[in-house]
Amino acid sequence: MNVSEIVEKLADPRLRRVSGVLIVVIDGHGGSGKSTLAEILGSTTGSTVIQVDDFASNLEDVDLVEAIRSAVLEPIREGETDLNYEARDFWYGQNPRNVHKTVTNTVILEGVGSSRTEFRRFIGLSIFVDTPLETCRRRGLDRDLGQTPLTDEELEQRWDDWHRAEIDHFAEHDSRNFADLMVAQIDI
């Protein structure tokens, strides 16, 4: 599956819409290429892209389901044309920034857990980026080394822990089987 095939799929009028908006989720392991695919699709189609990581925190336990539902999904369902929320710094949790996003005909929510069961009544199209775990780990470490308060060893351990948790999460929510489209890393 390549980008042009995904863009073609987005035009399918049979896809579920919420108040006229197609909500596309891009899920997969950390480092799989979700953000890259979302960026490409967003710029190609003029779609709004929202990152799950804006609502997540390395430092505190955040109720992601409630945060995303109340800041993104419910306002879209209610017909809002603008979304405003406070984004967190994932690693440091400091200096939250105000984010303003215009609701376009298609809104892309990308990030680990974006296709979770609690969001499914809003989702029109689910994409799972299927990248080998070792590739994800290498990409994530390359991206995050020197950008976090963790030592290199702590960060490597954190990535290993995350991947174990992600495997459990994807099994619990049956994320791969729920996906309408599976995208291999090489297609991005």
Residues in contact with 74: Cβ distance below 8 Å, sequence separation at least 6, in sequence order: none
State the pLDDT confidence band at 146, using cuts at 50, 70 and 90. Answer: confident
Domains in the chain, number = 1
CA pair distance 33, 36, nearest whole angstrom: 5
Cα–chain center distance at 48:
12
Average of pLDDT values for 82-100? 83
Q: Is the pLDDT of residue 107 over 70?
A: yes
- Six-digit token string for 71: 């800041």
> What 3 state SS string does 60-116 have?
CCCCHHHHHHHHHHHHHHCCCCEEEEEECCCCCCCCCEEEEEECCCEEEEECCCCCC
Q: Answer yes or no: are the C-beta atoms of 36 and 70 closer than 8 Å.
A: no
Is the Cβ–Cβ distance between 131 and 36 less than 8 Å?
A: no
Contact 91, 58 (CB under 8 A): yes
Q: Which of 67, 58, 21, 70 is nearest to 158 (CA)?
A: 58
* pLDDT score, position 147: 83
Parallel/antiparallel/unpaired status of strands 106-110 and 181-184 = unpaired
Note the pLDDT tens digit of each residue in 11-22: 999 999 999 999
Q: Is the pLDDT of residue 119 over 70?
A: yes
pLDDT at 9 over 90: yes
The pLDDT-based confidence of 7 (bands split at 50, 70, 90) is very high
Tell me the C-alpha distance between 188 and 186, whole Å. Answer: 5
The pLDDT of residue 94: 65
pLDDT attached to residue 61: 55
For tokens 């948790």, what's the residue? 165
Query: What pTM was estimated for this model as a whole?
Result: 0.92
Predicted confidence (pLDDT) per residue in 50-62, tens digit? 999 998 865 455 6
pLDDT at residue 32 greater than cutoff 80 = yes
Domain containing 150 equals: 3-187
Tell me, what CATH number does 125's domain have?
Answer: 3.40.50.300
Residue whose pair of structure tokens reads 């809003």 in the numeric block: 122
